[in-house]
C-alpha cells in the first residue's frame, strides 16, 4: 500500500528551531514536496526534493533520504505566523499523482 506518516501536532517556541519528520512508502517516487497550509486556506508550496540531501531556502530547509523513505522540514527562527499545518507529499511514478500525508499542525507559542 501507499502510506505517508507525519506527527499529528507539534509545539515550539518563537525564535526556536523545529524539525517535522515524514516517512513514506509509495509505489514509485518522483520527488517529495512540502506545503504549508494555514487553517481554512489553500496549501502553498515550500520545497521540493528529488535527490538525497538538504535543500535550504531562507528559514526553511528540507532533507531527503530515498533509501530510508524519510524526509524532514526544518524551520529556523520560528515566528508566530509559522503556526500552520505542514503537508508532506510524494509525487508518484508517472509524475501526476501526488499522495499527501495528513499534515502536522505546528503551534508556535510566545
Partner 1 sequence: DGGITQSPKYLFRKEGQNVTLSCEQNLNHDAMYWYRQDPGQGLRLIYYSQIVNDFQKGDIAEGYSVSREKKESFPLTVTSAQKNPTAFYLCASSHGGGGGNQPQHFGDGTRLSIL
CA distance 69 to 63: 11
Which residue lies nearer to partner 1 by CB, 24 or 72?
Answer: 24
Nearest approach, Cβ of 101 to partner 1 (angstroms)?
A: 5
Which residue lies nearer to partner 1 by CB, 43 or 75?
Answer: 43
4: burial class by Cβ within 10 Å (0-12, 13-18, 19+)?
Answer: buried
Which residue in the set 53, 67, 81, 96 belongs to the binding site for partner 1 (CB under 8 A)?
96
User: Is the separation of the CB atoms in 107 and 10 below 8 Å?
Assistant: yes
Residues contacting partner 1: total by CB under 8 A? 27
User: Is the separation of the CB atoms in 86 and 101 below 8 Å?
Assistant: no
Which residue in the set 71, 101, 106, 108 belongs to the binding site for partner 1 (CB under 8 A)?
101
Please report, as residue ranges, which positions from 13 to 42 form the binding site for partner 1 (by CB under 8 A): 30-31, 33, 35, 40-42
3-state secondary structure (DSSP) of residue 33: strand
Please report, as residue ranges, which positions from 45 to 84 form the binding site for partner 1 (by CB under 8 A): 45, 48, 50
CA distance 64 to 85: 20
3-state secondary structure (DSSP) of residue 80: helix
Where on the chain is the footprint of partner 1 (CB under 8 A)?
4, 8, 30-31, 33, 35, 40-45, 48, 50, 87, 89, 91, 94-103
Amino acid at each position: 500500500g501507499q502510506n505517508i506518516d507525519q506527527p499529528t501536532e507539534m509545539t515550539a517556541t518563537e525564535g526556536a528551531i523545529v524539525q517535522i519528520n515524514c516517512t513514506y512508502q509509495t509505489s514509485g517516487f518522483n520527488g517529495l514536496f512540502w506545503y504549508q497550509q494555514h487553517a481554512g486556506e489553500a496549501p502553498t508550496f515550500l520545497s521540493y526534493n528529488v535527490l538525497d540531501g538538504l535543500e535550504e531556502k531562507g528559514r526553511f530547509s528540507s532533507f531527503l533520504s530515498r533509501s530510508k523513505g524519510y524526509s524532514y522540514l526544518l524551520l529556523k527562527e520560528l515566528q508566530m505566523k509559522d503556526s500552520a499545518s505542514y503537508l508532506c507529499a510524494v509525487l508518484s511514478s508517472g509524475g501526476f499523482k501526488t499522495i499527501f500525508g495528513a499534515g502536522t499542525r505546528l503551534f508556535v507559542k510566545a
